[in-house]
């Protein structure tokens, strides 16, 4: 684990995105709250928040952080039969929250898959990436 004890506590944030692509009928079931397991969007949102808080338990050498905010956005796209997932994580700390944002997106996508796998095993999870970060010694980043 990297020693961050000499770093200043600063406000840091990170945003990541990903996508779950599926059949049109699957997207309709999700949006109509028609899955047997329940409301996939709300369950996935909660799973993403929980995952961000547990990132240091999942990723070796990742620092445990006192996260101050996790926001999960789920945007259905009927043109591509997909749901875009966006997670923003904030902290006042000595290290960044990129891994927490990426973990939140990943687990949100996996939860959507789990909720709908009974009706569509061909769903695809992809395009998971960091889209922006702010704070810390390395400064700000915004994907082009």
Give the residue numbers annotated as catalytic, written as ranges: 114
Name the residue with tokens 């990943």.
106
How many residues make up the chain in this entry?
Answer: 144
For the stretch 5-11, contacts whose Cβ atoms lie closer than 8 Å and that sit 24 or more positions apart, written own/partner, are 5/94, 7/94, 7/95, 7/136, 7/137, 8/94, 9/92, 9/93, 9/94, 10/92, 10/93, 10/94, 10/135, 10/136, 11/90, 11/91, 11/92, 11/134, 11/135
């Amino acid at each position: 684990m990297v020693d961050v004890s000499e770093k200043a506590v600063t406000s840091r944030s990170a945003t990541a995105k990903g996508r779950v692509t599926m059949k049109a009928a699957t997207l309709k079931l999700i949006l109509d709250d028609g899955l047997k397991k329940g409301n996939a969007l709300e369950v996935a949102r909660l799973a993403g928040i929980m995952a961000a808080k547990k990132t240091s338990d999942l990723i070796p050498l990742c620092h445990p952080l006192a996260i101050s905010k996790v926001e999960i956005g789920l945007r259905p796209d009927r043109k591509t039969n997909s749901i875009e997932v966006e997670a923003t994580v904030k902290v006042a700390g000595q290290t960044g929250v990129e891994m927490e944002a990426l973990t939140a997106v990943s687990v949100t996508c996996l939860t959507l898959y789990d909720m709908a796998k009974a009706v569509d095993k061909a769903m695809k999870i992809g395009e998971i990436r960091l889209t922006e970060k702010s704070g810390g010694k390395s400064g700000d980043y915004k994907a082009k």
